[in-house]
Structure 1
Amino acid sequence: MNIKILNILLNSDKKVSQRQIANELGVSLGKVNHGFSVLLNEGYIDNDYVPTKLGKNLLLRKRPQRAVILAAGYGMRMVPINTEEPKGLLEVNNEPLIERIIKQLHEVAINEIYIVVGFMKEHYEYLIDKYNVKLLVNSHYSEYKNMYSLGLAKEYLNNSYIVPCDIWFKVNPFSKVEDKSWYLFSKQKVTDSIWNVGPRGSVKKVSKGQAGDRMVGVAYVSTDDAEKINTALTLSLESKSALEHFWEKILEENGKFSLNGKLINQDNFREINSYEELRDLDFNSSHLQNDAIQVIEDVLKTDLKGIKNIRVLKKGMTNRSFFFENSANKYIMRIPGKGTDELINREWEYETYKAIRNINWTENILYLDPNNGYKLSSFIKNAHNCNSRNFVEVSKCMSLLRKFHTKNLKVNHKFDLYGQIKFYETLRHGKSAYRDYLEVKKRVLGLKSFIEDHIDKWVLCHIDANADNFIFDANNRLYLIDWEYAGMQDPDLDIAMFAIYAMYDQKNIDRLIDIYYQGKCDLITRYKIYAYIAVGGLLWSNWCEYKQSLGLDFGEYSIAQYRYAKEYSKKVLKYLGEK
């Protein structure tokens, strides 16, 4: 308060009264009178209420010098917009969010601005020339929360604002002078905050089960606190577990919040975390219209107002999909993921869906574009994926798979198992990360003639017939969905694919085979399925290595696939040798 009084006195062209200052600051006249008394007694103003040299030096020390804007994140909740533009560049009233923030910083004479970028970083490059900002590149934006981003800017936190890129303020929240560090909270109560801001800015934990003040993400760090926060960030950068948190985690010390809290009314700002939040703030934003939304509007005969409750679904291995509602119905819109164009032939997928269109246990496709892969389908309500450890459900899946195979459907394309291995090897560029890859590959290729000599029939197969693609609805009706990889193949390959995706051991693999074949699988066929497990393992191992080159990691799944290639190629070759 006293610093703000001092700042008004210094920057006023004419003498201002204490009442005028009280009105400007929105506080009582008594508080201003007390502030004048303190400033006078401590030598910051003279008897004429003019700031002294000591007062001017104090203001210099209390003046914000720079800002760090965090703009590296992918913004998963912004589907479908985030396929075209990073959320910091979304426009509200024809102005990108990040440009509004920069302009508001300039209004208070802050020109030293650092922007931490990552996802679609190239889109922010123009800001260097337009506003003379500096870009800091976060190459791990898909792996860590924004703790890592702030860590990249830790040397710039002295007298600095920290600002997320996806926030819009009605009134400039920044100031030419700041007395001490603070963190911004909204007066809105939310269940995901454990903090409440007291009358004088103290921040305390809420009682268990109570809602706290919403955390906004904006902070000011003074000289006094910068070194402490810098040290905490340095320690966080050395800990992978710490990097999985948002940067605010370092403000929690022994159950207490290390900065003062500052409150803002909910009406004075908006966080743009979703498509609907952008729509509600600016219905005419140019970013509300994109290809996916246009498809929805055209197919469902609706408009922007009719598309509600958008939420991103679990990030798939191949695609990014989002759920939404229209009227009383629910839908899923698929948007092909990173690198998908090289993996999936969308014209073949289109042909497959034409071939299965009369089967009533596949998803209801309302729209499928063979060029860009956009797919709109009805949502299966109250559904769950097959639990690969629940063999009652697995038995139903195998029964449905067997039923599908006996339909003997045909298409004009095949799934070339060995050709796909070679294709993925080309995509991943360079040698495999597995030291004995060439040896394992040689054994797997050695199974080819055994497999081809024992194929009984050649029909349309799902290829990606894993437990996640078998869906049970509320009435326990079973569906088989997602036919991207489907093509002409040996039905036994589908059995192998289910097994290796579930990461079954030998006992469960044999159990799966016996379920599909109803206890009548001959030894040759069993070993042919083992061979498919080896080939499929090598295929998906290469697929994982390619995806990893794009920054996507599938954990133990990738190693498990390579182990299938390694162990089951040995098993089949041993059997063939003995035979």
Structure 2
Amino acid sequence: MALTRKEFDILSTLATSPGDARAQAASPELDELRSMGLVSGTAITELGRKALEPYRVENAVIMAAGLSSRFVPVSYWRPKGLTSVRGEVLIERQIRQLHEAGITDITVVVGYRADEFAYLVEKYGVRLVNNDLYAERNNNWTLWLVRDQLRNTYVCSSDDYFAKNPFETYVYRAYYSAVYMDGPTDEWCLGVDENDRITSVTVGGKDAWAMLGHVYFDRAFSNTFVRILESIVRSPFYEEKYADELWETIFARNPDCLSMDMRRYPADQVLEFDSVDELVEFDPGFLSTVECPAIDNIVDVLGCERTQLHDFYPIKNGLTNLTFHFAVGTDEYVYRHPGIGTEKFINRTAEKDADTVAHELGIDRTFIYEDAEKGWKISRFVPNARNVDPLNHYEVSRAMALARTFHESDAKIDAKFDFYEDGLGYEQLLKSHGEIGVPGYEQLREKVTRLNEYCVADEGFSACFCHNDYLPLNFLIGEDGSMSVIDWEFAGMGDPGNDTATFIICSQYNEEQANAAIDAYFGRAATPVERRHFWARVVLGGWCWYVWALEKDAEGAGVGEWLDIYKSYAVTYVDKVLSWYEKNDTITA
């Protein structure tokens, strides 16, 4: 039996709040419900309860798989949904609110630090579904994993905080909760018709109602959404085009066939804490009590109080680490958190020694402290800094001259780095995952081995203090023009051609640009022997970082297109450089 909206409102209120005077007030709808036998006097009948059953909420899905990278540094150690706010764990508060509405069939989709959610099964009787691909795919994949659970279903995020319980036993139709945003906003803004049905979704807007908080799928919405989602997931272009999409993006493309209302909430009722700073505004005692090793480390090194910390936000992460910005008063800093599996590649004692030497030489003005055992580091933040522009000849010349400066400094650390030897080390790590079945790998390795023998035999290129990861992103140019070289993870005594080679590879230079960088290093046109040697380092560097990338990929922390970029410098140039050694071919500038 289909009910009108007003009939539903009266009937559901009588079912869940029988003493509510508003539902008992005289109205044509109440009279109609009495005439249908759904209400007797001001009480719902058994027939009325049967009429409500199609509107009963059957279950809930709580999405808790993601890293929540904006919630640094707390999310590095604990899933955001397990954060305690005003004495309550976020996801537990949400589960209890669902229970209060009679919703006990709850599925939690986990991924990042999944094991930490296991206690919820015994404590609250929830069901856990593991999303192993949480780092590679967005929440459309989360909903695909629970597609069989989508019926009359609440879909929530584990980190939402509802000041007042928004969940209901019966819901008339699908809706997305929304909060009004004064002024400009980056949130997803909604357009609606006169009945509050969502007609459009735009990313960003001004003075608008924006998606925020929970969402409710009714059966009609769920059935249509799952059909559309299946066509996307089964698409041959899924990984390329859709894997990184939010499910809301799919909804935004299909508002005509995915019918959903907007439900308005006061701004203080539905809260999402995108950053630690936002949470501290709501819960001023949060920083004083939260368990977070990074905060402990910062306080110990800088001698400050937890309550003095603010302005936390992630900085674009590199291929090996996670970093975030924070401030103490007006002083700004960067905290480096070691990435997954980096202990297999990085000698942190050597890195700390290199950081210290680079700081003493004035090459890295940002360094403050590093823990050689655990790999975390604190540095000064350079406001409005930019990286070296690899297409700016002046800046490249400065970078090359700077490399020559520390190469000739007589600085030494108790570590070495060699493209070939370290590449063999990465190869052994790679083989621990099984045989290397990459086509052409063994042939390339044989050529690289021959080239390394020639290169090592070259005279006049003694080992020196090298960065070995000397790419444009590892330079910071301040507003005053000062240049610092950061991230000395791979530093060690090595061939002077290593840094120029890495710069060439990571700048994706062609031959002409690469030769210009080599000339800039010497401050003049390189001799044939110098050019041949430095090009050998380019090939060896390409091979070394290629094997490193294969190992990272095998570990599940792949570096994307960089694997092919590294490989290309080995494959493209190995024969030419070998011919310079073996056939005494002419070396072209």
Deviation at 1:200, TM superposition (A): 4.5
Distance (whole Å) between structure 2 residues aligned to residue 206 and residue 88 of structure 1: 26
CA RMSD of aligned residues (A): 2.3
Secondary structure in 1 aligned to 2:362? coil
Residue 212 (str. 1) matches residue 208 (str. 2): yes
Deviation at 1:214, TM superposition (A): 2.5
Distance (whole Å) between structure 2 residues aligned to residue 287 and residue 247 of structure 1: 35
Match of 2:96 in 1: 103
Distance (whole Å) between structure 2 residues aligned to residue 57 and residue 278 of structure 1: 43
Question: Which one-letter code corresponds to 1:535 in the other structure?
Answer: L
The 1:390/1:301 distance shift into structure 2, 3 A limit, reads: same
Deviation at 1:235, TM superposition (A): 2.2
Match of 2:190 in 1: 195
Distance (whole Å) between structure 2 residues aligned to residue 38 and residue 388 of structure 1: 76
Match of 1:330 among 313, 322, 332: 332
How do 1:546-557 and structure 2 match up within 5 A?
A: 546-557=551-562
Q: Is the 8 A contact 1:362 1:480 kept in 2?
A: yes
Match of 1:451 in 2: 455
Match of 2:107 among 114, 120, 127: 114
How do 1:66-85 and structure 2 match up within 5 A?
A: 66-85=59-78
Cα deviation digits, residues 45-65 of structure 1 (max 9, x gap)? 24x244344422121111101
Residue 265 (str. 1) matches residue 266 (str. 2): yes
Q: Is the 8 A contact 1:7 1:59 kept in 2?
A: yes
Q: Is the 8 A contact 2:474 2:485 kept in 1?
A: yes
Deviation at 1:326, TM superposition (A): 2.0
Worse overlay, 134-143 or 197-206 = 197-206
Match of 1:26 in 2: none
Match of 1:558 in 2: 563
Residue 426 (str. 1) matches residue 419 (str. 2): no
Distance (whole Å) between structure 1 residues aligned to residue 547 and residue 349 of structure 2: 24
Deviation at 1:385, TM superposition (A): 0.4
Match of 2:481 among 463, 476, 488: 476
Question: Which one-letter code corresponds to 2:340 in the other structure?
Answer: K
Worse overlay, 192-201 or 439-448 = 192-201
Match of 2:387 in 1: 385
Match of 1:533 in 2: 538
Distance (whole Å) between structure 1 residues aligned to residue 253 and residue 427 of structure 2: 49
How do 1:55-454 and structure 2 match up within 5 A?
A: 55-189=48-182, 190-196=185-191, 200-205=195-200, 210-238=206-234, 239-240=238-239, 241-253=241-253, 258-285=259-286, 288-428=290-430, 429-454=433-458
Cα deviation digits, residues 235-279 of structure 1 (max 9, x gap)? 232334233221112322566673101111111232133222333
Q: Is the 8 A contact 2:310 2:326 kept in 1?
A: yes
Distance (whole Å) between structure 2 residues aligned to residue 287 and residue 188 of structure 1: 31
Q: Is the 8 A contact 1:3 1:177 kept in 2?
A: no
The 1:318/1:541 distance shift into structure 2, 3 A limit, reads: same
Question: Which one-letter code corresponds to 1:164 in the other structure?
Answer: S
Deviation at 1:340, TM superposition (A): 1.2
Q: Is the 8 A contact 2:475 2:485 kept in 1?
A: yes
The 1:71/1:254 distance shift into structure 2, 3 A limit, reads: closer
Q: Is the 8 A contact 2:189 2:205 kept in 1?
A: no
Q: Is the 8 A contact 1:319 1:337 kept in 2?
A: yes
Distance (whole Å) between structure 2 residues aligned to residue 42 and residue 260 of structure 1: 28
Deviation at 1:205, TM superposition (A): 4.6
TM-score by length of 1: 0.92
Match of 1:33 among 15, 21, 27: 27
Distance (whole Å) between structure 1 residues aligned to residue 322 and residue 267 of structure 2: 32
Match of 1:499 in 2: 504
Question: Which one-letter code corresponds to 2:317 in the other structure?
Answer: K
Match of 2:520 in 1: 515
Q: Is the 8 A contact 2:273 2:279 kept in 1?
A: yes
Aligned identity (percent) is 30
Worse overlay, 450-459 or 62-71 = 450-459
The 1:526/1:105 distance shift into structure 2, 3 A limit, reads: same
Secondary structure in 2 aligned to 1:58? helix
- Provide structure 2 residue ranges, at least 5 long, that are not aligned to the other structure: 1-5, 585-589
Distance (whole Å) between structure 1 residues aligned to residue 245 and residue 207 of structure 2: 21
Cα deviation digits, residues 329-371 of structure 1 (max 9, x gap)? 2111111111111111111111112323322231322221111
Distance (whole Å) between structure 1 residues aligned to residue 33 and residue 306 of structure 2: 56
Distance (whole Å) between structure 1 residues aligned to residue 36 and residue 545 of structure 2: 73
Q: Is the 8 A contact 1:440 1:566 kept in 2?
A: yes
Secondary structure in 2 aligned to 1:385? coil
Number of equivalences = 567
Match of 1:3 among 8, 19, 24: 8
TM-score by length of 2: 0.91
Deviation at 1:323, TM superposition (A): 0.9
Q: Is the 8 A contact 2:181 2:207 kept in 1?
A: no
Q: Is the 8 A contact 2:338 2:375 kept in 1?
A: yes
Distance (whole Å) between structure 1 residues aligned to residue 532 and residue 207 of structure 2: 59
Q: Is the 8 A contact 2:82 2:91 kept in 1?
A: yes
Secondary structure in 1 aligned to 2:187? coil
Distance (whole Å) between structure 1 residues aligned to residue 248 and residue 380 of structure 2: 39
The 1:403/1:253 distance shift into structure 2, 3 A limit, reads: closer
Q: Is the 8 A contact 2:471 2:503 kept in 1?
A: yes
The 1:253/1:514 distance shift into structure 2, 3 A limit, reads: closer
Distance (whole Å) between structure 2 residues aligned to residue 12 and residue 161 of structure 1: 21
Question: Which one-letter code corresponds to 2:29 in the other structure?
Answer: G
Secondary structure in 1 aligned to 2:422? helix
Deviation at 1:166, TM superposition (A): 0.7
Question: Which one-letter code corresponds to 2:400 in the other structure?
Answer: M
Q: Is the 8 A contact 2:200 2:252 kept in 1?
A: no
Deviation at 1:77, TM superposition (A): 0.6
Match of 1:25 in 2: none
Secondary structure in 1 aligned to 2:268? helix
Q: Is the 8 A contact 2:70 2:275 kept in 1?
A: yes
Cα deviation digits, residues 16-38 of structure 1 (max 9, x gap)? 47x3547xxxxxx6xx6243134
Distance (whole Å) between structure 2 residues aligned to residue 191 and residue 490 of structure 1: 48
Secondary structure in 1 aligned to 2:324? strand
Q: Is the 8 A contact 2:355 2:364 kept in 1?
A: no
Q: Is the 8 A contact 1:43 1:54 kept in 2?
A: yes
Q: Is the 8 A contact 1:192 1:212 kept in 2?
A: no
